[in-house]
Chain A
Amino acid sequence: MSSPNPYLPFPAVIEEIIPETDSGDVKTFRVRFQDAACWERFRYLPGQFAELSVFGAGEAPISITSSPTQEEILEFAVKRMGRVTTALHHAEPGAVIGVRGPYGNTFPLAELRGRHLVFIGGGIGLAPLRSLINYVLAPGHRGDHGDVVIIYGARSPGDLVFKWELDRWQTREDVQLYVTVDREHEGWHGRVGFVPAVLEEVAPSSRNAVAITCGPPIMIKFVLQVLERLGFAPSQIVTTLEMRMKCGIGKCGRCNIGDKYVCRDGPVFTYEQLKAMPAEY
Chain B
Amino acid sequence: MVPWSAEDGLDLEGYRNTLLPPKEIFFPRWEPMLRYSGWGRNLRWEEVRAPSAGRPAVLFGVRPCDARSLTVLDAVFQDDHPDPYYLQRRRAVVVVVLACTTPGRSCFCADVGGGPADERGADVMAAELEGEIRMWPVTDKGAQLLAETGWEPDPGGRELLEQHMQRTPTPAHGVPAGRYPEALEGRFEDPVWDRLHLPCLGCASCTYLCPTCHCFDVADETSDGGGLRVRGWDSCMFALYTLHASGHNPRPSVKERFRNRFMHKLSYFPKRYGLLACVGCGRCVEHCPVNVDVREVMKELVSDVQS
Bound together, the chains give a CA A1 to CA B34 distance in angstroms of 13
Residues in A neighbouring B43, C-beta threshold 8 A: 11, 55, 95-96
Does A259 contact B245, Cβ atoms closer than 8 Å? no
A56 partner, pick from B33, B222, B231, B264, beta carbons under 8 A? B222
Min distance, Cβ B154 to any Cβ of chain A, angstroms = 36
Does A55 contact B45, Cβ atoms closer than 8 Å? yes
Flag whether B244 is at the interface (Cβ < 8 A): yes
A58 partner, pick from B82, B218, B268, B272, beta carbons under 8 A? B218
Does A7 contact B217, Cβ atoms closer than 8 Å? no
Does B260 contact A252, Cβ atoms closer than 8 Å? no
Does B220 contact A280, Cβ atoms closer than 8 Å? no
Residues in B neighbouring A244, C-beta threshold 8 A: 241-244
Min distance, Cβ B197 to any Cβ of chain A, angstroms = 14
Bound together, the chains give a CA A98 to CA B84 distance in angstroms of 19
B76 partner, pick from A1, A6, A85, A250, beta carbons under 8 A? A250
Number of A residues with CB within 8 Å of any CB on chain B: 43
> Known contacts being A56-B36, A81-B246, is A258 close to B82, with CB within 8 Å?
no
> Which B-chain residue is minimally distant from A95 (CB atoms)?
B40
B250 partner, pick from A3, A92, A98, A281, beta carbons under 8 A? A281
Bound together, the chains give a CA A95 to CA B38 distance in angstroms of 11
Q: B220-251, CB under 8 A of A: which get 1 and which 0? A: 10100001010100101000011111101011
> Which B-chain residue is minimally distant from A96 (CB atoms)?
B43
Chain B interface mostly: mixed
Does A253 contact B215, Cβ atoms closer than 8 Å? yes
Min distance, Cβ B44 to any Cβ of chain A, angstroms = 8
> Which A-chain residue is minimally distant from B251 (CB atoms)?
A280
Min distance, Cβ B277 to any Cβ of chain A, angstroms = 10
Does A254 contact B241, Cβ atoms closer than 8 Å? yes
> Known contacts being A55-B227, A244-B241, A246-B217, is A256 close to B268, with CB within 8 Å?
yes
Q: A250-273, CB under 8 A of B: which get 1 and which 0? A: 111110111100001000000000
Flag whether B271 is at the interface (Cβ < 8 A): yes
Flag whether B132 is at the interface (Cβ < 8 A): no
Does B256 contact A55, Cβ atoms closer than 8 Å? no
Does B220 contact A58, Cβ atoms closer than 8 Å? yes
Does B40 contact A92, Cβ atoms closer than 8 Å? yes
> Which B-chain residue is minimally distant from A59 (CB atoms)?
B218
Residues in B neighbouring A5, C-beta threshold 8 A: 47, 84
| Chain A positions 84-131 with a Cβ under 8 Å from a chain B Cβ | 85, 91-92, 94-96, 98
Flag whether B81 is at the interface (Cβ < 8 A): yes
Bound together, the chains give a CA A250 to CA B273 distance in angstroms of 12
Flag whether B77 is at the interface (Cβ < 8 A): yes
Bound together, the chains give a CA A57 to CA B220 distance in angstroms of 6
Min distance, Cβ B43 to any Cβ of chain A, angstroms = 4
Flag whether B267 is at the interface (Cβ < 8 A): yes
> Known contacts being A55-B45, A57-B220, is A81 close to B245, with CB within 8 Å?
yes
Does A247 contact B271, Cβ atoms closer than 8 Å? no
B271 partner, pick from A3, A11, A98, A259, beta carbons under 8 A? A259
Bound together, the chains give a CA A55 to CA B248 distance in angstroms of 25
What are 8 A-B contacts with C-beta separation under 8 Å?
Answer: A5-B47, A5-B84, A6-B82, A8-B34, A244-B243, A258-B263, A259-B268, A280-B251
The 4 closest A-B pairs by CB, nearest first: A81-B245, A253-B215, A259-B268, A55-B36
Known interface pairs A55-B227, A259-B268; 16 further A-B residue pairs with C-beta atoms within 8 A, sorted by A's residue number: A6-B82, A7-B229, A8-B45, A13-B41, A55-B36, A81-B246, A85-B245, A94-B40, A243-B250, A247-B218, A251-B214, A252-B217, A253-B236, A258-B263, A278-B188, A281-B250
